[in-house]
Amino acid sequence: MTAPTVRFTDERLANGLRLIVAEDHLAPVVAVCIWYAVGSKNEVPGKTGFAHLFEHVMFQGSRHVAKTEHMGLVQAAGGTLNGTTWLDRTNYFETMPSHQLELALWLEADRMATLLDALNQENLDNQRDVVKNEKRSSYDNRPYGEWSNKLQAHLFPPEHPYHHPTIGSMEDLDAASLEDVAAFFRTYYAPNNAVLAIAGDVDPAQARAWVERYFGGIAANPKIPPLGDMTVPAILGAESREIVEDQVPLPRHYFGFRAPRFGDPRLEALEVACQILAGGKGSRLYRRLVREERIAQDVAFFALGFVGGASIAAGEATVRPGVDPDVVERAFEEELERLGREPVTADELARARALIETYELEALQRVDERADRLAMFATLLDDPDLINRQLDRYLSVTPAEIQAVAAEVFRPDNRVVLTYMPASGPAARSADEETAA
Amino acid sequence: MTLEEILAARPTPGQPRAYSFPKFERTVLPSGLQVLTVHVPGRPLVSANLIFRIGAVDETADLAGATVLMARAMTEGTERYPGLALIEAAERLGSTLHADASWDAFAASVEVAASRLRAALELLDELVERPTFPAEEVARLRDERLNDLLQMRAEPRRRVEQAFSQTIFTAESPYSRLAGGDESTVGRLTRDELVGIHRALLSPERAALVVGGDLTGLDVPRMAEEVLGSLARRVSGRPAATLPWPAPVADSAVDRPIVRLYHRPGSVQSEVRIGHVGLPRRIPDFHAVQVMAAILGGLFNSRLQLNLREEKGYTYGVGAGFDMRRGAGPFGVRTAVQTAVTVPAISEALKELHRIRDTLVTEAELAVARDYMVGVFPLRFETPGAVVGAIGGLFVNGLPDDELARYRGLVEAVTAQDVQKAAHEHIRTDRLAIVLVGDADVVAKDLEAAGFGELEVIRDEVPGEIEQVDPSEGDEEGE
């Protein structure tokens, strides 16, 4: 089985907008995906959560699009859409029936060119409330909800741009002003800070003409401030531990490690290791902790790739009732460290490769995933063709490479252990609770 | 032209490319097994789904959870592949075996390269026909379910769903339970019950194999007869499961507006469900109901979203809809709102439920919903997995083969009058149950004063506390 090659064109408009077009006509659908090279890492102290709040403002209209009309027009055209914010980037995407491509391009261009015309205090206040409710839903009111924010804070020092969570803090969200929004937009939402990828049922010449028409006249920002040096030592230096009391019935450990940066082949070896460790019922952690020793209710292990400083390798295990949490922690860590001591078996590696191949093929079936990956590889690594080499890179990972990266990463002095324990009494009111905004 | 002139002119759509739902072929094998195949060119992965019309809704109350547990236990080893050997064999093919039971169906499925389809079907056959249900693995999975129920109690979103079902359905209805069962029955389940459920399942008259992908050069029906033919020969003299089945009991336990609040101290949001017993899948006005539900709470710009999120900022998201099953599943508005605005948020949601019953939707609202549902159709069915899933749904619900081919025309024909009629008939404002998980110390008094309905506060659950699960004690929810 071979993966179909994704053929694409890659060019820049005069204003710096990078345009990638991948044509295929299997289904009458087309995906538009625009990545801006700005994320929570670009936020400054006192303004955390801003990149994400801004993403919400991007759906509040622009000069020729009324509030909520962006959603309405896309849905009335039979399309789907959303936007997401992460440490390294913010992205916006629409998947459309192919005859509606021009609408999606126009909508993206209108907000890149004229967002501030529609910005007002009412919309900002409204989306601030929505985002605060998103924070309550996704973190504050959810058992174990703070784990990822806590891991980030342990793995990166306070002055590092990856230290704070993308969702931000309630205080900082409250402090965001219209001037902040305008300045953020003028600084980062410029064509030379964006990659536009179009994939699917598209005539490339026509798409290029539309992109030139709608985006060509938008001015570049020649003064996008560079980020400071994000380098951190490859290893944390000392183990970091925290016990969290929460409204949870079962204890759970979260593990975090600094890992090689996104794009480093060692991170790909680590991702294969993640498959062998926790990818389904045949994996090592599941087999030992859940099935054989029956000390864990569930296990997981995965990598979150970042381009600045270090990535995060993270895992979790929920402790079964009546089991000593320390026993679960030791078994979990033993399995991680064993990967660094002895090579994986040929059969384990063959199974992991076969599964990874299927996952990749499955993902690349969809136009939205193709557009997203082209934009991702272009934005983060300046190498959109990785979409065609990624699978081979996974498949060529050797037992020695897995062992080497496991030995580098899974060290006690590179480890964060976060242990959630059932709170002894009714939980104290969350520090973030406040009166109605 | 200036940029302003260019952007001031909205683009108009081009000519839509012709699209129709992929045609599927039906073959009935000598064994009685139906094989439905759909050729989706250019797709290297094939999706295969062996689906049986039997689900959690068919269980008796004392066995609640047995079908779901049986499905989970099926991948724990078979006669030829003991223990994890079955899982490993599938992984060598690059695939994961899935065995899942829902309210209406059990399905064993796999996604695999076309060249390995036969080998994957052999594993599906092994899983479905010859599972050994090792007693100690069954016990482990049962304990995992009991632990999961503990976790569920602490997760407001899951807790409120369970409470909502228990509130709106009578205790006689299977839908008042969790599909996976709760402490009152799961703790009692053993290998014997699972074997019993499995025996009932193994009836080829109940089954269909749905296969989709690039099937060039594959004779799927023949392959299926060779690999799955013995499924029939192992089981004989079993009565055919014919349609229509008796509808599952789905009676309403509620005959007037009521409010039920589960106290969760310190909650920064209230999880809210508002609704009642809804509709089954097979109804004559299905398309009008779906358009109505989209306008009310399905679209990103639904009335509920525009009001509670985009205008008031009460929530990150709110939705509403009918969960249509073989029997009448729940209709509900679902949201989580900041604790301090719990009462006004419910008031606004109720306003929207009344408004869509009492007045016609605008032509613009109707057009957006209709055009979305029609236009998004090709996006929904981009991959073989999605196509196979939809065809499986037709089989389970006993719907005609052309149901999906006719879908877009029927949606386009829905009028504003149809929408109002659907809302008027199927949204029962006279028997709305409002179920919440939130901080009663903060919201109970205002809820009482708001007069939405008789208020009952359940305080004896302490989230986060591990209760000793004693299966012999039965239901401990304290309602």
Contacts 24+ apart (CB under 8 A), B8-12: B8/A64, B10/A64, B10/A103, B10/A106, B11/A102, B11/A103, B11/A105, B11/A106
Name the residue among A288, A252, A297, A422 with its Cα closest to residue B147: A297
d(CA B445, CA B477): 23
* Ranges of residues in chain B whose predicted pLDDT is under 70: 204, 232-245, 461-479
H/E stretch holding A51 reads helix A50-57
Domain co-membership, B309 together with B226:
no
Contact A277, A349 (CB under 8 A): no
One domain for residues B430 and B287: yes
Q: What is the CATH number of the domain that holds B146?
A: 3.30.830.10
| pLDDT score of B35 | 94
* Residue numbers of B between 354 and 373 with CB closer than 8 Å to A: 367-368, 371-372
| Residue located via tokens 């779901």 | B68
Domains contained in chain B, number: 2
A-chain CB neighbours of B15 within 8 Å are: 99
The rounded Cα B173 to chain-centroid distance in angstroms is: 17
> Can you give the residue range of the structural domain that contains B448?
258-461
Same domain, A165 and A309: no
Q: Is the peptide bond before B13 cis (omega within 30 degrees of 0)?
A: no
Which residues of chain A have a CB within 8 Å of the CB of B269?
133, 136-137, 140-141
CA distance B315 to A295: 38
* pLDDT at B245 (0 to 100): 60
* CATH number of the domain residue A19 falls in: 3.30.830.10
Q: What is the mean pLDDT of residues A39-49?
A: 95
Location of structure tokens 């002119």: B9
> How do residues A56-98 score in pLDDT, each as one tens digit?
999 999 999 999 999 999 999 999 999 999 999 999 999 999 9
Mutation site for B-interface testing, chosen from A30, A358, A364, A367 by largest number of B Cβ within 10 Å: A358
Same domain, A168 and A280: no
How far apart, in Å, are the Cα atoms of B132 and each of A37, B65, B76, B123, B229? 54, 19, 8, 14, 20
Instruction: Look at residue B12 and tell me if it is in a domain.
Output: no
What is the greatest pairwise CA distance in chain B? 79
A191 pLDDT more than 70: yes
User: Does A349 lie in the same domain as A255?
Assistant: yes
Please provide the average confidence, as pLDDT, over all residues in chain A. 95
Q: Report if residue B193 sits inside a domain.
A: yes
Shared-domain flag, residues A323 and A195 = no
C-alpha A95/C-alpha A196 separation (Å) is 13
pLDDT of amino acid B467? 39
Name the nearest CA neighbour of B479 among B415, B435, B447, B428. B435
Of B16, B264, B383, the CB nearest to A366: B383
Which amino acid does the sequence have at A65?
V
Bridge partners of A81, per DSSP, are A94
Q: Which residues contact A150 (CB under 8 A, 6 or more apart)?
A: A242, A244, A254, A418
Domain-located, residue B111: yes
CB pair distance less than 8 Å for A291 and B382: no
**Contact call for residues A316 and A358 (beta carbons, < 8 A):** no
- Looking at the fold, whether B291 and B210 belong to one and the same domain comes out as no
- Are B167 and B277 part of one and the same domain? no
CB contact under 8 A, A113 and B45: no
pLDDT of residue A46: 93
Domain that holds residue A332: 240-422
Are the C-beta atoms of residues A325 and A319 closer than 8 Å to each other?
yes
Q: Helix or strand or coil: residue B129?
A: helix
Pair (A206, A248) in one structural domain: no
Q: Is residue B349 part of a domain?
A: yes
Q: What is the 3 state secondary structure string of A276-291?
A: HHHCCCCCHHHHHHHH
Would residue A333 count as lying in a domain?
yes
B201 with B25: CB under 8 angstroms? no
pLDDT digits (tens, 9 = 90+) for A201-254: 999 999 999 999 999 999 999 999 999 999 999 999 999 999 999 999 999 999
pLDDT reported for residue B471: 35
DSSP-assigned letters across all residues of B46-92: EEEEEEES--GGGS-GGGTTHHHHHHHHGGG-BSSSTTTHHHHHHHH
Residue B199 placed within a domain: yes
Q: Which of the listed residues B182, B202, B234 is the one where a domain comes to its end?
A: B234
Per DSSP, the three-state class of A311 is: strand
Phi-psi label, residue B401: left if phi above 0, alpha if psi -120 to 50, beta otherwise = alpha
Claim to verify: residue B376 and residue B268 sit in the same structural domain: yes
Q: Which residues contact B272 (CB under 8 A, 6 or more apart)?
A: B160, B333, B334, B335, B336, B337, B342, B345, B346, B349, B434, B435, B436, B438
Answer yes or no: do A199 and A342 share one domain. no
**B23 touches B175 (CB < 8 A):** no
Count CB-CB contacts under 10 A for residue A102: 21
- Are A152 and A287 in a shared domain? no
Q: Do A75 and A130 lie in a common domain?
A: yes
Residue B5 lies in a domain: no
- Asked whether the beta carbons of residue A67 and residue B310 sit closer than 8 angstroms, the reply is yes
B141 in the same domain as B39: yes
Q: What does the pLDDT read at residue B473?
A: 35
| Spatial CA neighbour of B236 closest among B192, B194, B202, B209 | B202
Same domain, A307 and A187: no
At residue A326, the 3 state secondary structure works out as: helix
Q: What's the start-to-end Cα distance of chain B, in Å?
A: 69
C-alpha B230/C-alpha B61 separation (Å) is 32
| Strand ranges across the sheet with B207-213 | B24-28, B34-39, B207-213, B45-52, B106-113, B98-101
Last residue of one domain, picked from the residues A182, A215, A248 = A215
Interface test with A, best of B86, B183, B268 (most A CBs within 10 A): B268
N-to-C CA span, chain A: 56
Nearest to B71 by CA among B45, B114, B102, B115: B102
Residue A92 is assigned to a structural domain of this protein: yes
Q: Between A and B, how many CB-CB pairs are < 8 A?
A: 268
The token pair at B417 is 């009058």
Contacts of A282 in chain B (CB under 8 A): 84, 87-88, 91
**Cα B227 from Cα B229, distance rounded (Å):** 6
In contact, B372 and A96? CB cutoff 8 Å? no
Domain shared by B230 and B264, yes or no? no
Domain stops at, among B234, B266, B301: B234
Number of Cβ within 10 Å of residue A135's Cβ equals 23
| Claim to verify: residue B205 and residue B306 sit in the same structural domain | no
Residue B333: CA count within 13 A, CB half-sphere: 33
Residue B242 lies in a domain: no
Q: Beta strands of B127-206 (E only): which ranges?
A: none
Residue in chain B closest to A142 (alpha carbons) equals B155
- Please tell me what DSSP assigns to residue A160: S
Instruction: State whether A16 and A117 are in the same domain.
Output: yes
Kindly list the residues from chain B whose CB atom is less than 8 angstroms away from the CB atom of residue A214: 6-7
Domain co-membership, A279 together with A151: no
Amino acid at B390: A
pLDDT in the model for residue B463: 45
CA distance A379 to A196: 10
* Spatial contact of B110 and B94, defined as CB atoms under 8 Å apart: no
Same domain, B47 and B175: yes
Is A277 inside a domain boundary? yes
The whole-number pLDDT of residue B230 equals 81
Exposed e or buried b for every residue in B322-341, given b needs 16+ CB within 10 A? bbbbbbbbbbbbbbbbbbbb
Binning pLDDT at 50, 70 and 90, where does residue A425 land? low
B175 with B310, same domain: the answer is no
CA dihedral of residues A185, A187, A188, A191 (deg, nearest 10): 100
For chain A, how many structural domains are there in total? 2
A33 shares its domain with A120: yes
Cα–Cα distance for residue pair A125/A314, rounded to 1 Å: 35
Write out the two tokens for B432. Answer: 């709305």
How many residues does this entry show for chain B? 479
Exposure class string for B128-139: b at 16+ Cβ within 10 A, else e:
bbbbbbeeebbe
Contacts of B383 in chain A (CB under 8 A): 362, 365-366
Contact A142 B93 (CB under 8 A): no
| Closest CB from B7, B92, B378 relative to A351 | B92
Asked whether residue B271 falls in the same domain as residue B221, the answer is: no
B276 and B214 in a common domain: no
Which pLDDT score, from 0 to 100, does residue B478 have?
Answer: 31
Q: Is residue B42 part of a domain?
A: yes
Spatial distance between the Cα atoms of B291 and B284, rounded to a whole number of angstroms: 14
Q: Where are the alpha helices (DSSP H) in A342-395?
A: 346-364, 367-381, 386-395
